[in-house]
Structure 1
Amino acid sequence: MKWLFVFVCFCASFSTSFGQHRSYSDIADSVYAALKKHEPGFLLPLLHDSCRISGLPKGMNAKMIPLLLDKYPAVQAYKIVTINKDTAGTRVQMEVMFETGKAAYPDFVLNQHWRITELNVVKSASFNRLANRILAAPDTIHLPLITIRQRLYVKAEADGRKGLFLLDTGSPDMILNRTFFNDSLQLVSASGTESINGVRGDGILTRRISGFTLGRMKLSNFSAFVMNEGIGGEAEGLPFLGSIGYNVLRDFEWRFDLPAGKLILVKTDDNGDYISQQYRLTSMKYMGPLEMRRHVPVAVITISDMPFRMGIDCSIGSNVFFARSKNELLPYMSQIDPATAAQEGVPANGIQGVLNKALIGTLEFSNMPASIEQGSFVYDNAEVAPLNGLLGTAFLGCYKTVINLKKKLICFW
Structure 2
Amino acid sequence: MPKLYIILFLLFNINVSLANNGIINPIKFYKAETINKHTTRIPFKLVDHLMIVEAELLNQKGNFIIDTGAESMILNKVHFSNLYENQRKRQTTGILNSVEDRYEKQIKEFILHNFTLENKTSDVINLAHIEKTKKIKILGIIGYNILKDYEIFIDMYLNQITLTKVDDLGNKLIKNVYLERIVDSLDFNLKNHTIVVKGTVNNQDLRFGIDTAAEFNQINKSVNKKVLKYFIAKKRLTLTGASNKSIEVLAGKLHRVQLSKSIYFGPMLTVLTNLSKMNEAFGTHLDGILGYEFFAQKRVIINYQKEKLYFINYPLNYH
Shared fold per TM-score greater than 0.5:
yes
Change (3 A) 1:147 1:337: closer
1:314 corresponds to which letter in structure 2? T
Task: Determine the C-alpha separation between the residues in 2 that align with 1:369 and 1:248.
Answer: 29
For structure 2, the residue ranges without an aligned partner over 5 or more in a row are 1-25, 29-33, 93-97, 237-245, 313-319
Letter in 2 for 1:375: L
Q: 2:88 aligns with which of 188, 213, 219?
A: 188
Q: Which has the higher helix share?
A: 1
1:378 corresponds to which letter in structure 2? Answer: M
Q: 1:300 and 2:188 equivalent? A: no
Q: How far 1:330 moved relative to its partner?
A: 2.1
Residue of structure 2 in register with 1:368 after alignment: 268
| 1:1-400 pair list within 5 angstroms | 138-185=37-84, 186-189=86-89, 203-214=101-112, 216-228=114-126, 230-231=128-129, 233=131, 239-279=137-177, 283-325=181-223, 327-334=225-232, 336=234, 348-362=247-261, 363-380=263-280, 386-400=285-299
Q: Using a 3 Å threshold, how does the CA distance of structure 1 residues 232 and 404 change in structure 2: closer, same or farther? A: closer
Q: What percent of counterpart residues are identical?
A: 24
Letter in 1 for 2:223: S
Task: Identify if the C-alpha distance between structure 1 residues 224 and 155 changes in structure 2 by more than 3 Å, giving closer, same or farther.
Answer: same
The residue matched to 2:181 in structure 1 has which SS? coil
Query: Is the 8 Å Cα contact of residues 155 and 214 (structure 1) preserved in structure 2?
Result: no
Distance (Å, rounded) in 1 between the aligned partners of 2:234 and 2:130: 34
In 1, the alpha carbon distance for the partners of 2:127 and 2:145 equals 23
CA contact (8 A) 1:300 1:308 kept: yes
Cα offset, 1:320, TM superposition: 0.6
Distance in 1 separating the partners of 2:210 and 2:147: 15
- Code of the residue aligned with 1:161 in structure 2: it is Q
Rounded Cα–Cα distance in structure 2 between residues aligned with 1:274 and 1:312? 22
SS of the residue corresponding to residue 328 of structure 1 reads: helix
How big is the shift at 1:246?
A: 0.2
1:408 to 307, 310, 315: 307
Q: Helix, strand or coil: the match of 1:207?
A: strand
Look up the SS of the partner of 1:316 in the other structure: coil
Shift of 1:376: 4.0
Q: Select between 327-336 and 233-242 the one with higher mean Cα deviation.
A: 233-242
How much has 1:135 moved relative to structure 2?
Answer: 11
> Structure 1-normalised TM-score?
0.57
CA apart distance, 1:232? 7.3
| Paired AA for residue 408 in structure 1 | E
Quote the offset at 1:350 in angstroms.
1.4
Q: Secondary structure at the match of 1:204?
A: strand
**Deviation, structure 1 residue 159:** 2.7
TM-score (norm: length of structure 2): 0.73
How far off is 1:204 after superposition? 3.1
Structure of higher RCO (CA pairs closer than 8 Å, 6+ residues apart): 2
- For residue 234 of structure 1, report the CA deviation from its aligned partner: 8.2
Counting matched residue pairs gives: 267
Higher share of residues assigned strand: 2
1: CA distance between counterparts of 2:300 and 2:54?
21
Unaligned runs of 5+ in 1: 1-133, 339-346
Structure 1 contact 298–310 (Cα < 8 Å) conserved: yes
Aligned-partner SS, 1:364:
coil
**Structure 2 counterpart of 1:273, one-letter code:** N
In 2, distance between residues paired with 1:205 and 1:177?
A: 11
